[in-house]
Amino acid sequence: METNIIKGKECAEKVLQNLSDKISALPTEETPILAVIMVGDNEASQIYVRNKQKAAAKIGMGCEVMEFSSSIGENALLEVIDELNSNHHINGIIVQLPLPSHIDTLKVLSRIRSSKDVDGFGPYNSGLLSYNSEQAVISATPKGIMHLLLSTGIELKGKNAVVIGRSNIVGKPIAMLLTNHNCTVTLAHSKTTNLPDIIKTSDIVVAACGRAKMIKGDWLKEGAVVIDVGINRIDGKLCGDVDYDSAIGKASYITPVPGGVGPMTIAMLLSNTFEAFIRQQSEPECSCGKSGCHCHH
């Protein structure tokens, strides 16, 4: 069968161009600004953050990166978030993950004011997602994946989907989104015993397990749509969680690595930041005075 390559890079460029046009049309004194908190010197995080910064600059969005040593205390980090929460110039706040192990990630993410939580990782927005609420801020990678799936024009209703990987960043939210789109979803993970059997009956495969080329082409159902979220390196060369070469000819659609899900993630983060900016323009400032407020006027 002919396999169509889903062009994530092109799709992301269209989203970014559209955002750029909208930002240029704003009155000159208004620029959406994203604050990025980075703790420690994780090499992958540094690359992701640099890419976010570059993309923001290209579309005329502000991006303030705040870097802290891995020895920063939890309370000091919470104070930084409190300041950003009450800074009217800041529209979106993200904390690059992973955080060092002495910091409670949930506590930190919960502190971000929900209207500025443009990664959608806080309990308020992830709770709204589970309610299938339109108010939910959907985290960037799952939102990008849905965009790519819908761009193929395939009907999602009633399809069997398997998500491999149960992370809070990708696996769990994409499983929820696919459920909300009427797929029958299996959320597989490292303790799943019969993964090839599950994949064999799946029309949609989302690979987000972080293991290079783990999913083989001969595990796939003929005509499956394959979304590869993995970013791994073998001998310096980037590859996904799917064994791409063996999936060609078996899948009906597949995302490449690089140039698939990755660029969409950045475009969706900036899109979430722009939407937060627009909402904040029309919503009154919260009067409760609490940092990390979830009153959600």
List active site positions. 52, 96, 119
| Cis preceding linkage at 98, omega within 30 | yes
Q: Does 231 help bind ligand GUN (rule: CB under 6 A)? A: no
Using the rule CB under 6 A, is 37 a contact of ligand GUN? no
Helix (H, G, I), strand (E, B) or coil at 81: helix
Alpha helices in the chain (DSSP H): 8-24, 43-59, 74-86, 105-111, 123-130, 140-151, 171-180, 195-200, 244-247, 261-282
Beta strands 237-239 and 232-234 are antiparallel
| β-strand pairing of 225-228 with 237-239 | unpaired
Other CB atoms closer than 10 Å to residue 190's CB: what's the count? 11
H/E stretch holding 238 reads strand 237-239
Q: What is the residue whose two structure tokens read 């939102």? A: 143
Kindly tell me the burial class for residue 293, based on how many C-beta atoms sit within 10 Å of its own C-beta (0-12, 13-18, 19 or more).
Answer: middle
Residue of the chain from 12, 15, 19, 94 that contacts ligand GUN (CB under 6 A): 94
The smaller minimum CB distance to ligand GUN, of residues 254 and 266, is found at 266
- CB 117, min distance to ligand GUN, A: 10
Binds ligand GUN by CB under 6 A, chosen from 119, 203, 228, 243: 119
Kindly indicate which of the ranges 59-67, 88-96, 126-134, 208-216 contains the residues binding ligand GUN, using the contact rule CB under 6 A.
Answer: 88-96
Do 277 and 32 meet the contact criterion of CB atoms below 8 Å apart? yes
Q: Which residues in the 161-200 window bind ligand GUN by CB under 6 A? A: 169
Closest CB to ligand GUN among residues 100, 154: 100
Q: Does 202 bind ligand GUN (CB under 6 A)?
A: no
Task: Give whichever of 77 and 220 is closer to ligand GUN, judged by the CB atom.
Answer: 77
Q: Among 11-19, 91-99, 151-159, 184-192, which window interacts with ligand GUN (CB under 6 A)?
A: 91-99
DSSP 215: B
Enter the DSSP assignment of 102: T
219/274 with CB nearer ligand GUN: 274
Closest CB to ligand GUN belongs to which residue? Answer: 97
Residue 215 CA from chain centroid, whole number: 21
Give the burial class of 56: count Cβ atoms within 10 A of its Cβ; 0-12 exposed, 13-18 middle, 19 or more buried: buried
225 binds ligand GUN (CB under 6 A): no
Q: ω before 258 within 30° of 0 (cis)? A: yes
Tell the smallest beta-carbon distance from residue 151 to ligand GUN (Å).
Answer: 20
Shorter beta-carbon distance to ligand GUN: residue 184 or 232 = 232
Among 140, 176, 229, 268, binds ligand GUN (CB under 6 A): 140
Size of interface with ligand GUN, in residues (CB under 6 A): 9
Which range binds ligand GUN by CB under 6 A, 90-98, 193-201, 255-263, 284-292? Answer: 90-98
Summarize as ranges the residues that interact with ligand GUN (CB under 6 A). Answer: 94-97, 119, 140-141, 169, 265
